[in-house]
Amino acid sequence: MERIAPKPPMLVNRKRIDHYFPHQLTERITPVDKIFMTSTLGIPDVSADDWSLAITGLIDSPVTYSHAELLALPKRTLETVHVCSGNPKKPTAPLRRVSNVQWGGVDLANLLSGLGVDKSATHIWSYGLDFGADEDDVVLGEMAHYVKDMPISRLDDGDVLIAYELNGKPLTKKNGFPARLIIPDYYGTNCTKWLCRLELTDRRPDSYHTTVVYNDPDYDADPSGKITKPVWSLAPESIFVSHEKKCEIPNEGAELWGWAWSNCPAESVEVSVDGGKHWERANLEPANGRAWQRFTYHWEPEGPGEYDVRCRTQDVNGEIQPADNARNSVQSILITVEA
């Protein structure tokens, strides 16, 4: 990977992560100050005037948009669940970093349809302005931008945005100002912030964040796990918001609730109050586009004691949350019912 833009001034020079816990995510639209934030290479500090976005590669008319030119294009808004896939070095450990926000920006499929994309193009590479070493100072040279890719076929499913607004305001610097890629139904890692280039190509890049980490063993394709598949599509997941990870409640009926999502509508959420032995269906609101869905469950505890309470969702494609050993494995909280 070559460096394609000079190193920008940095607001923060190294890895930074802001994390919020599921029980804090009480609002349907997560306020900006509660949106988790990840940056592995630091936070670029770029003014709108100093920024531009190049669209290059297998395309008849390569273009560069200034900030003003991008904002002058037709704008769309879209509410989506926004999910971190977790620590790329511990891909089977759930971190429950999630939010649900409204993006505003330019429809990428629409934009590209006017630029003559070559038939041989299969992937879109997205480059962030940030580059350098990863948190362990390994693998990445000084030349390595944050680079991700998506299959061009994802455009057919709609709603891929070059976003410059978050919850109705200009993107904050930590969330990708001046603009970022948003690929709804894909994990957040694919949504390159501080976007400076989109390149149409006929292959996957060999960049660190694309093909070194963020690839899961594909046990369906090869039981030994040597064949990998990119961490793109969201897997089904649900979280409790109503109750903290460890909490005490009085010995009376309790309203459990939380959020569920997947790469398609969630079809059901089930709740277990005995550590996963028995499950009962929760109420689940219907899907609203690509946003998360609220579930509620009225629980009458049998009496005082400790309860291992879990929720799991199944999506309309029949995919269900695994019990363990996956980034989306079932969440378990410990509720003590007081005497």
Q: Give dist(CA 95, CA 87) in Å, integer.
A: 8
> Interface residues with Mo ion (CB under 5 A)?
38, 84, 189
Classify the C-alpha dihedral 201-229-109-36 as positive or negative: negative
- Phi, psi values for residue 160, rounded to 5°: -80, 125
The H or E element spanning position 307 is strand 305-315
Residue 314 interacting partner from ligand MTE, Mo ion, none (CB closer than 5 to 8 Å by kind): none
Least Å from the CB of residue 189 to Mo ion: 4
Residue 37 interacting partner from ligand MTE, Mo ion, none (CB closer than 5 to 8 Å by kind): ligand MTE
Nearer to ligand MTE, 44 or 236 (CB): 44
DSSP lists the bridge partners of residue 124 as 150, 200
Least Å from the CB of residue 191 to ligand MTE: 5
Closest residue by Cα to residue 259 from 101, 47, 129, 89: 101
Classify the C-alpha dihedral 218-208-183-325 as positive or negative: positive
Nearer to ligand MTE, 58 or 182 (CB): 182
Among all residues, whose Cβ is closest to Mo ion?
84
Q: Give dist(CA 146, CA 59) in Å, integer.
A: 22
Residue 194 interacting partner from ligand MTE, Mo ion, none (CB closer than 5 to 8 Å by kind): ligand MTE
- Residue pair 127/145 in contact by the 8 Å Cβ criterion: yes
Least Å from the CB of residue 82 to Mo ion: 10
> Interface residues with ligand MTE (CB under 6 A)?
35-41, 84, 128, 130, 146, 175-176, 188-189, 191-194
- Phi, psi values for residue 67, rounded to 5°: -60, -45
Nearer to Mo ion, 38 or 328 (CB): 38
Nearer to Mo ion, 213 or 247 (CB): 213
Closest residue by Cα to residue 289 from 80, 105, 104, 101: 80
Least Å from the CB of residue 336 to Mo ion: 33
Residue 30 interacting partner from Mo ion, ligand MTE, none (CB closer than 5 to 8 Å by kind): none
Residue 240 interacting partner from Mo ion, ligand MTE, none (CB closer than 5 to 8 Å by kind): none
Nearer to Mo ion, 146 or 257 (CB): 146
